[in-house]
Chain A
Amino acid sequence: MNSVMIGQYIPIDSWLHRLDPRSKCIFVFCMLILIFFANNVETYTLLLLVGLMGVALSRISVLLFLRSMKLIIWMILFTTLFHLIFTQSGSIVLQTPILTIYEEGVRQAAIISVRFILLMIFASLLMFTTSPIDLTDGLESLLSPLRRWRFPAHEFAMMMSIALRFIPTLWAETDKIIKAQKARGADFESGNVYRRVKAYIPVLIPLMISSFRRAEDLATAMEARGYAGGVGRTKLRVLSIRRADILLLVCFAIVATALFWMRK
C-alpha cells in the first residue's frame, strides 16, 4: 500500500532506471508536448512505437502499465462517448433510430483515446523507473535556475522529501487510530456516504494534532543538526549526466524531427 502511494516506483535495474532523473524528466516532459503535435496515423504510430520501446527498455511487466491505464479508463470511455454522440460532421458511419455516429466523431474519439494512452505510458515510464528521492533531487536541480527569481527550489525539494519520509509514518498512524476507534465501537463500513465520512472525523483530528507535534519536533531536530536552509549545503547524492543521458536526448531529437517531417 505504501509503495503504491509514493509514486509507484518499481525498484529493479534497467537502462531507464539508471538514467539521470533530470534527463528523464526533460525527455518525458518534451514527449508529452510532442503528443499534441501528432496529427495523423503515421505520427501517432511513431509515438506509440517510442512508448512501447520505453516499456521494453524499462523491463517492467506490461501488466503494470495496463494496470496504470485503469486509472484513466473512465476518462477515455467518457470522452469517446462524448465525441461519438456530439461530433456531427463527415459522412455517417452508423445510423440507428436513437443515435447517429459520424466519421469525424470516430476519428476524434480515436485521437483522444490514443493521446490519453500515450500520456499515461510516458508518465508511467517516469514514475515507474525513478525513485521518489531521485525525482525530488532531479526537480531541485532543474528548478534551481529559477532561484534567481526567488523561486525556493531547495525548500520545495526539502518539503517534498520530508513529505515522502512521513507518508509511511502517517499511514501507519492512521491505521492505528482507526483500529483504536474501531475497538471503541466506531463503525466505518456501514451507512451512507455522509455517515461514513463523518466516522472519519475522529480519525483525522488526532492525526492532525499529532502531525503538528511531529512537525515541531522535526523542525527542532533539523535545527539541532545544523540545518539553516540551502545556502552552503553540500549533497551526498550527486546527479551526473552520462553517455546514456545524452543518447536519450539525441533519440528525442530524432523522434521530434521525424514527427515534424511526417505530420501533415
Chain B
Amino acid sequence: MKHIKSLIELSGVWFDYHPDRQMKEQWALQDINLTIQSGEYVVVMGPNGSGKSTFARLLNGLLIPTEGEVRVGDFSTSNGLGRFHIRRKVGMVFQNPDNQIVATTVRDDVAFGLENLGIPREEMIPRIERALEVVGLVGFENREPAHLSGGQKQRLAIAGVLAMNPEIIVFDESTSMLDPQGREEVRELMKELHQQGQTVIHITHSAQEAFLAERVIVIAHHRLQLDYPSRDLYNQSNLLEQWGLEVPLPIRVRALLKNQGVELNEPIGNSDEMVAQIWRYLSKT
C-alpha cells in the first residue's frame, strides 16, 4: 500500500498569545488536529475573534504552537531551520492591500521575497516576469503601488508570493477589503491557481466564497468545529447557521424548498442558476 504523506499536518496544536496569563479554555486556539493534502482548496470560516488569523499564522511559522506541532512537508515550524524552509513553501496574502506592499515599484515588490531568499539576480528576472504574467500585471512593472487599484494591489501581493514558488498559498480575508470587481479578480485568480495544482487555503467570511472551495473548515470558540467537503454542506446548511455563519441565499432557498418537497439539482453556484433550476422544475410539472 502506498503511504500518502500529507502536505500540512497539525497535531495537538494549542496556542495563545499570553499562555501564562490565560486559562487553557480561553486560549486563542485549542487542540487543533488537521491534515491538508497537496492540491486541496480549503476554505476556513468562523466568527470574528475565533482564531482564524492565528491559525493562518501558525501555518508558516509566524507563530509557533505553544503545545503540539505544525509540520509542512518534512519540516516543523518549531525549529529555526524548518521555519526558513517553510516560509518559502507557504506564501501568505493578507487582508489590507496597502499594508503588505514593501517596495516603491511593482517589479521591486515582487523581487522582495526573492531577495530575502538570496536568489541570484539572473534567476529573479524570469521568475518576476512569470509571476506578473500569472496575475495579469504585465506592463505595470514600473508603476508605484499607490497608483494601483485595490484588486491590482492584491494581485501584486499574490505575485510577490508566487514568485517564491510556494506549495501552499494562504489567503487571510484577502478579498474582504476590495470592491466587487477587485474581489471577483482575486477569486478568479485563486481558482486558476488551484486548477494549476497549487494548494489554496482561503480564510473568509463570505459563504459564497466557501462554496467555491472543495473543503470547508469551521473554527469557532477557538476550536475546529466542522470539517466537511463543501458538497456535503449543501444538504446541511443548518450546520453553518449553528456557528453563526451566513448561508448564501441560493443554498438557503434550496433547503427551504426541499422541506416543501421540491427537490432541485445540486450544486447551485449562484442565484441565476437557482432561478434557472426553479424554472426547469416548474416547466416539468
Q: Which residue numbers of A lie inside 8 Å of B, CB to CB? A: 2, 132-133, 161-162, 164-165, 168-169, 172, 213-214, 217-218, 220-228, 232-238
Contact = CB atoms under 8 A, between A and B. Distances in A.
B118 A168 contact: no
B116 A218 contact: no
Given A225-B160, A238-B121, A233 B116 contact: yes
Contacts of B101: 165
Which DSSP category, helix, strand, loop or mixed, fits chain A's interface? helix
Given A168-B146, A235-B115, A236-B111, 15 more contacts: A133-B108, A161-B103, A162-B102, A165-B145, A169-B98, A214-B96, A214-B98, A218-B99, A224-B62, A225-B87, A225-B112, A226-B84, A227-B112, A234-B119, A236-B121
Contacts of B94: 217, 220-221, 224
A58 B62 CA distance: 47
6 contacts: A168-B144, A169-B146, A220-B94, A225-B116, A225-B161, A236-B114
B13 interface: no
Nearest to B146: A168
Nearest to B120: A234
B100 A217 contact: yes
A237 B102 contact: no
Interface of B: 57, 60, 62, 84, 87-88, 91-92, 94, 96, 98-105, 107-108, 111-121, 124-125, 128, 144-146, 157, 160-161, 164
B62 A236 contact: no
Given A233-B115, A236-B111, A236-B114, A224 B102 contact: no
A213 B146 CA distance: 18
A169 to B, nearest CB: 6
Contacts of B112: 222, 225, 227
Nearest to A219: B99
Contacts of A227: 112, 116
B201 to A, nearest CB: 14
Contact of B118 (A133, A213, A234): A234
B104 A132 contact: yes
B236 to A, nearest CB: 34
Contacts of B100: 217-218, 221
Given A221-B94, A224-B62, A164 B104 contact: yes
Contact of A234 (B60, B108, B121): B121
The 3 closest A-B pairs by CB, nearest first: A217-B99, A168-B146, A221-B100
A172 B98 CA distance: 12
